A = this chain, B = another copy of it.
């Protein structure tokens, strides 16, 4: 795994021109430390945030203070379109590792909405993909047993990062603790630990030091019963992923597809 930089976050949704247009509206980068709160539940939101680097998590605590992780946001995500449109969030948004966000003031996006409604439609599209991811999390937590939940979650993270050119097909950064992972998958930290041990002992994958290393990608997909139709990645990426899973993909494939 190597550190890679984010080129185009939404290749199948935004044209380069649109991405540039949105980028130009953004304010200066703001950094957040690990565990720092980015947006607080119920607080008024006055700008739309773009996650230019790092990972963020959406949390809802239960009555006893134990948290459920509702979503993991990766670099290139627009992390508070819900807050922007609805006025406030119904949950907390925290930095997972080190995070850099850039905000677009409310008024600028409203102005853009008048002069280029097409871009707003694209943002709508982006938030609907987020919703599709939410629905898939419901499926994952509701139907899959523990080990499959973890495997399935890793598969999603792999593809979402891979789709942005942020990792290869064998490893990726994931700045979560085992407690975070457990909160994401709806289980206890102890059990998450045991399921990770199983995957490790089977030689499927490891999770340590904020990164996942996958030795057997097809096995991970199989264990997690993973499908990625809900990510709406587009036909090119879809084919590419299927080729890699079939073992016929090499690094040249990616470059060829991108060119």
Taking CB atoms, residues of chain B closer than 8 Å to A66 are 143
When A and B form their complex, which 10 residue pairs have the shortest distance between CB atoms, in order from nearest?
A: A142-B186, A134-B134, A131-B131, A90-B230, A70-B135, A68-B142, A124-B124, A68-B143, A68-B139, A60-B139
Taking CB atoms, residues of chain B closer than 8 Å to A125 are 85-86
Interface string of A127-161 (1 = CB under 8 A from B): 11111101111110111100000000000000000
The answer on a CB contact under 8 Å between B128 and A82 is yes
Q: Which of A28-36, A113-121, A203-211, A246-254 is the contact stretch?
A: A113-121
A82 to B143, CA, bound (A): 23
A91 proximal to B (CB < 8 A): yes
The answer on a CB contact under 8 Å between A131 and B129 is no
Could you tell me which residues of chain A, from 68 to 95, have a CB within 8 Å of some CB in chain B?
A: 68, 70-71, 81-82, 85-86, 90-91
Taking CB atoms, residues of chain B closer than 8 Å to A124 are 85, 120, 123-124, 127
Could you tell me which residues of chain A, from 50 to 80, have a CB within 8 Å of some CB in chain B?
A: 58, 60, 62-63, 66, 68, 70-71
Can you sample 18 A-B contacts with CB below 8 Å? A42-B229, A66-B143, A68-B143, A71-B135, A82-B132, A90-B136, A90-B229, A90-B232, A91-B135, A91-B230, A113-B121, A117-B117, A124-B127, A127-B127, A127-B131, A130-B131, A134-B134, A141-B142
A137 to B141, CA, bound (A): 10
The answer on a CB contact under 8 Å between B128 and A81 is yes
A213 to B42, CA, bound (A): 32
A193 proximal to B (CB < 8 A): no
Q: What is A's interface to B at a CB cutoff of 8 Å?
A: 41-42, 58, 60, 62-63, 66, 68, 70-71, 81-82, 85-86, 90-91, 113-114, 117, 120-121, 123-125, 127-132, 134-139, 141-144, 183, 185-186, 225, 229-230, 232
What residue in chain B is nearest A117 (Cβ atoms)? B117
In the assembled complex, how far is the CB of residue A57 from the closest CB belonging to chain B, in whole angstroms? 12
The answer on a CB contact under 8 Å between B85 and A138 is no
A124 to B113, CA, bound (A): 13
A128 to B117, CA, bound (A): 18
